[in-house]
Amino acid sequence: MDVEHRNMTPPKFTPNDLEEPRLGPFETLLLGGGLALFLALLYEMREFLSPPLIAIAATILLWPLRRYRSVRALLLSGGFLLLFWLLSQLRVVLIPFVVAYLLAYLSNPLVDLLERRLHVPRWVSALTVTVLVVGALAAILLLLIPTIVGQLVELIRQMLNSVGELRRWLYENPLLDRLEEVLPIDRQALIQQFTTFLQQQLNALTQSLPDALATVAQSIGSLLGALTVLAILPMLIFYTLKDYPKLRDALIGLFPKHNGRRDYLMYAGTVVGNYLRGQLLISLIAAFNVSVALLIFDVPFGLLIGLLAGLLNLIPNLGAVLTNIIALLIALLFGDPPLLDAVIVTGVLLGQGLLEASVLSPHILSHQVGLHPVLILLSLFVFGYFLGAFGLLIAVPTTAILVGFYQSYREAREKLAGATTPESTDVTE
């Protein structure tokens, strides 16, 4: 009985028994030869290879070694790069879906209001909001875009014609005479360089507009592709609004947890959503007010100045300064009379600024991001340097989210430090 019991006892393994056997000289030689042949195969297939094929081959090679932390980090970084490559390749296909989700994200509070307050079914409220959004977009495309493009083309044409007049005005300006007396400058060379620079910039602008339109047309593919996108966009907005809570929860589930929770994502969504909705509404009001006021006073390019005021209003602090500078230059160059139009433009923009500061921002933009003005300006310059115009639009909400993450992390660290520090009573004991 004891002998049978001893025979049934499972054998004991040591950690060395679980390790893979070491390769001998012959096996090492075979492994090196196989690696050389694999590299030769990659070289011969260099025209056929693509990032997905390379990622699959790398995964097959590294997967048996995934127990090592460095290998897991390499697989994760490779997957991250492959994901961004796929997004860049599919950006044209994903544009309608991104636009639909963004519009649904911005208009979802209205759907929730109709559903919860008025007890309207979700699909009915989603359909109603979709009709409103699509109608507004159609009105902008059909009514405003042709007029704005026409004014922009006329502005560029007049600026090209005014370069010669500007050159003559500079030659006759007594201010340069006084400047020559103080500084050792060549007046003719300075005027020549300045007018050449303006001519180059205007020529580049006139050439960039057709190139931009051609790029958009090529990215869409054809007129049929554009019509297809316009046709499916309302359907995408409706279904995204209808199932927005499910889609939002699914996207949140893709992100990692922080301290076992994903509250930081809800905070980020609240900050970005409130800020963007408030800023967009204030920008629309500013564009409408400035455009109507300048059209009433018959200021040249009034609609273009109003659109500029609305777009630049999305950039805090810096946008108002840029709007005033550009609007005053347009009024002084093309106004009739220039000084009167400049005074009108200044008064309209000043009135809009006072209305925004005293009425619109306190009531519409009730959820402030809580950032210091110096930090806001710093974020605008940094994001604008790296991402251009798009960086200026996302600088403030992104900075607010980063500050919120840092505050959440600091609070969690302080709580952890307070929990691990022994109390005074424990020390005395």
Asked whether residue 155 is domain-assigned, the answer is yes
Asked whether residue 6 is domain-assigned, the answer is no
Which one of 215, 243, 271 terminates a domain? Answer: 243
Handedness of CA 46, 51, 53, 57 (dihedral sign): positive
Which one of 210, 243, 276 terminates a domain? Answer: 243
Decide: helix, strand or coil at residue 370.
coil
Same domain, 201 and 115: yes
Same domain, 265 and 347: yes
Q: Answer whether the bond into residue 337 is a cis peptide, omega within 30°.
A: yes
What's the structural domain count of the chain?
3
Nearest partner of 92 among 218, 220, 217, 213, judged by Cα = 220
DSSP secondary structure code for residue 299 in this structure: -
- pLDDT value of position 428: 42
Q: Find where tokens 């990659």 sit.
A: 42
The CB density around residue 203, as the number of other CB atoms within 10 Å, is 12
- pLDDT value of position 378: 87
Same domain, 55 and 190: no
Which one of 36, 67, 84 terminates a domain? Answer: 84
- pLDDT value of position 16: 46
Does the predicted model carry a pTM greater than 0.85? no
At 238, list the tokens: 């409706």
Asked whether residue 3 is domain-assigned, the answer is no
Same domain, 155 and 132: yes
Asked whether residue 390 is domain-assigned, the answer is yes
Asked whether residue 232 is domain-assigned, the answer is yes
The range of the structural domain enclosing residue 78 comes to: 28-84
Same domain, 366 and 348: yes
Same domain, 399 and 328: yes
Per-residue pLDDT tens listing for the chain (429 residues): 444 444 555 555 444 444 555 667 777 787 777 778 878 887 888 888 888 888 888 888 888 888 888 888 888 888 888 988 998 888 878 888 888 998 998 899 899 988 888 888 999 999 999 999 999 888 888 888 888 888 888 887 787 777 666 666 666 666 666 666 666 666 667 667 767 776 676 666 665 555 555 555 554 455 556 677 778 889 999 999 999 989 888 887 777 766 666 666 776 777 777 788 888 889 999 999 999 999 999 998 999 999 999 998 888 778 888 899 999 988 888 888 888 999 999 999 999 999 988 888 777 765 556 677 788 888 888 888 888 878 887 888 888 778 777 777 777 777 777 766 555 444 444
Distance separating alpha carbons of residues 346 and 81, to the nearest angstrom: 50
Tell me phi and psi for residue 261, to 5 degrees: -135, 170
Own/partner contacts of 208-216, CB < 8 Å, gap of 24 or more, are 209/152, 209/153, 209/156
Asked whether residue 308 is domain-assigned, the answer is yes
Total number of residues shown for the chain: 429
Same domain, 123 and 165: yes
Residue 67 amino acid letter = R
Same domain, 59 and 119: no
At 226, list the tokens: 């554009």
Asked whether residue 237 is domain-assigned, the answer is yes
At 77, list the tokens: 């970084």
Write the CB contacts of 127 (distance below 8 Å, at least 6 apart in sequence). Answer: 238
- pLDDT value of position 218: 52
| Terminal-residue alpha carbon distance, the chain | 57
Cα–Cα distance list, 40 to 46, 50, 55, 87, 339 (Å): 10, 16, 17, 30, 74
Same domain, 113 and 213: yes
- pLDDT value of position 139: 87
Same domain, 80 and 100: no
- pLDDT value of position 238: 93
Taking each helix axis from N to C end, the angle separating 244-253 and 91-116, rounded to the nearest 10 degrees, works out to 120
Asked whether residue 21 is domain-assigned, the answer is no
- pLDDT value of position 15: 45
Nearest partner of 300 among 346, 332, 348, 347, judged by Cα = 332
Same domain, 145 and 178: yes
- pLDDT value of position 187: 63
At 230, list the tokens: 């316009």
Same domain, 304 and 350: yes
